[in-house]
Chains A and B, each alone.
Chain A
Amino acid sequence: MTSLVIAEHDNASIKGATLNTVTAALQCGGEVHVLVAGSNAGAAAAAAAQIAGVAKVLHADGDALAHGLAENVTAQVLAVASSYSHILFAATATGKNVAPRVAAKLDVGQISDITKVDSPDTFERPIYAGNAIATVQSGDATKVVTVRTTNFDPAAATGGSAAVESVAAVAASAQSAYVGSEIAKNDRPELTAAKIIVSGGRALGSAEKFNEVLTPLADKLGAAIGASRAAVDAGYAANDLQVGQTGKIVAPQLYIAAGISGAIQHLAGMKDSKVIVAINKDPEAPIFSVADYGLEADLFTAVPELIAAL
């Protein structure tokens, strides 16, 4: 029994979510190998070899793998899949894009967003926006899973000394081509890895106010900025800031929810945070039912006061 973790990386380094996925893979039992599929990704492969607990790194390098296109990455995973009992991806935009494609090609079911490994074939996963936890058992020969990273501690990034083995890169699919990307540049910590998150809801009222009120608080705390679906829907915040059932799942040390009512879909994305602070002027807001510290106040006065007091 051997598990294969599909690394998330930028060719130069390994992304944090990979470390949590390695931990889940180790809990499945047996050896853990990591596949680094990229273009000029030698540095990322070397970094993967350092991860504690990893026995072997497979490094596939080619132009087809430069942009992580699902068609090509799937072909690369399939090229090595037959040796593995488990194939694990982080449950990120990247992992969710590829894992089901791999599973279908192998004619196996896929298990999404596992929060716990009960045994090599049995896993726990949230359903209905986290309002229920299902314990599921796979009857398939290969288990293809995506891992909810907030539920597994990261493996140590150093201390390992796995061998790196080169594998032949697949040819590019003619069906799909990368055109370009727009990545928002900022110095903030990544939402899913941040220790502190400052999150805003519809009560902010506009994109200008959203930035004007929350940015100084996030700066002061070195925090990432998040948003409720209502705020994203209203155009106050970018889609990739959305915390909730269909957005990012986060579990920081401190989550400050400002002007967020606390719909179940939002709570699904943040209720595993260590400490939750809610600032809302509606005393009946459901967010108070999960908040460790609730402040019933107008956020437009409370947030500036908070910045001043920190």
Chain B
Amino acid sequence: MKVLVSVKRVVDYNVKVRVKSDGTGVDIANVKMSMNPFDEIAVEEAVRLKEKGVVTEVIAVSCGPTQCQETLRTAMAIGADRAILVETNEELQPLAVAKLLKALVDKEQPGLVILGKQAIDDDCNQTGQMLAALADLPQGTFASKVEIVDGKASITREIDGGAETLSLSLPAVVTTDLRLNEPRYVTLPNIMKAKKKPLETVTPDALGVNVAPRIKTLKVTEPAKRSAGIKVPDVATLVAKLKTEAKVI
């Protein structure tokens, strides 16, 4: 069984982005870019399934500009066998990415597709669910445990108040939550090995997908600033302030 894993190149989670002064977006020139953290968890899970012998091949996919090749090389350093870049400089919204991935699912016929639940740039949390809809596949979102048993995927999901377990027929789409696994550190030998793994490039046109955005960003602004309050010297003062000034207890 093949596994398809999608990875997104995003502004590193340690970077605090700045809104551009003309309100057209955020300034991402010259900031550090990394693989979306939830996608790293997705790659790690796919590689672990391969190490357990459940999966035969792990294919990493990224959609975006040429630089996404770096993200794909990282995925291959973690253990993906090969990579596909859907190269475009257009703005890609989740529906467009889901359509591109659907085209690749049709072509590669994976038994499982694993995605991060959410990208930390646009915070959408949509692509996995959309792919499942377009490909007419069952979905296991926000997974904290993935097991392949008797030709089915047993997915434990993080839900409000606890967890639930679903049994999905294969192929299926899974999106990862935080506790699914802890991604390994990539080692230098594996980075070197990843450079020799195959990386194929296709275009949205070649896949027959129109990626035109459906949602127009009119402007991007700074959020209302919350200013720092005061430091209190001790617990007694804190309690007094909460009772008489803030009146919240």
A173 located at the interface, meaning its Cβ lies under 8 Å from any Cβ of chain B in the complex:
yes
Q: Which of A26-34, A44-52, A102-110, A154-162 contacts B (4 or more CB under 8 A)?
A: A102-110
Could you show 6 A-B contacts with beta carbons less than 8 Å apart? A96-B141, A127-B26, A133-B222, A181-B165, A182-B163, A265-B13
A306 contacts B134, CB within 8 Å? no
Q: Which of B46-54, B74-82, B239-247 contacts A (4 or more CB under 8 A)?
A: B239-247
B166 contacts A184, CB within 8 Å? no
The chain B residues found within 8 Å of chain A, CB to CB, are: 11, 13, 16-17, 19, 26, 38, 93-95, 98, 117-118, 120-134, 137-139, 141-142, 144, 154, 158-169, 172, 177-179, 213-223, 226, 228-232, 234-236, 238-239, 241-242, 246, 248-249
- Identify whether the interface residues of B are mostly helix, strand, loop, or mixed: mixed
Q: A180-B165, A295-B235 are in contact. List 19 more A-B contacts (CB 8 A).
A: A93-B142, A100-B128, A101-B130, A104-B133, A108-B214, A110-B130, A112-B124, A127-B121, A129-B120, A131-B16, A132-B221, A175-B138, A177-B167, A181-B162, A271-B226, A290-B226, A293-B238, A294-B229, A309-B236
Q: Given the complex, which residues of A lie within 8 Å of B177, measured CB to CB?
A: 239
Q: What are the interface flags for A111-152 relative to B under an 8 Å C-beta threshold, 1 for contact and 0 otherwise?
A: 111000000001000111111111111111000000000000
Number of A-B contacts (CB under 8 A): 252
- Which residue of chain A has its CB nearest to the CB of B123? A127
Q: Given the complex, which residues of B lie within 8 Å of A133, measured CB to CB?
A: 220-223
Q: Which of A55-63, A66-74, A163-171, A208-216 contacts B (4 or more CB under 8 A)?
A: A66-74
List CB contacts (< 8 Å) of A246-279 with chain B. Answer: 246, 253-254, 264-265, 271, 274-277
A104 contacts B217, CB within 8 Å? no
A173 contacts B138, CB within 8 Å? yes
Q: Given the complex, which residues of A lie within 8 Å of B222, measured CB to CB?
A: 132-133
A39 located at the interface, meaning its Cβ lies under 8 Å from any Cβ of chain B in the complex:
no
B141 contacts A97, CB within 8 Å? yes
- Which residue of chain A has its CB nearest to the CB of B213? A109
The chain A residues found within 8 Å of chain B, CB to CB, are: 67, 69-71, 74, 92-94, 96-105, 107-113, 122, 126-140, 173-184, 190, 196, 221, 229, 232-233, 238-240, 242, 245-246, 253-254, 264-265, 271, 274-277, 288-297, 302, 305-306, 309-310
Q: Given the complex, which residues of B lie within 8 Å of A180, measured CB to CB?
A: 164-165
- Identify whether the interface residues of A are mostly helix, strand, loop, or mixed: mixed
Q: Given the complex, which residues of A lie within 8 Å of B133, measured CB to CB?
A: 74, 100-105
Q: Given the complex, which residues of B lie within 8 Å of A254, measured CB to CB?
A: 242, 246, 248-249
CA distance A107 to B195 in the complex (A): 38
Nearest CB of B to A200, in Å: 17
Q: Given the complex, which residues of A lie within 8 Å of B223, measured CB to CB?
A: 126, 130-133
CA distance A224 to B105 in the complex (A): 43
Q: Given the complex, which residues of A lie within 8 Å of B236, measured CB to CB?
A: 309
CA distance A126 to B216 in the complex (A): 15
Nearest CB of A to B111, in Å: 13
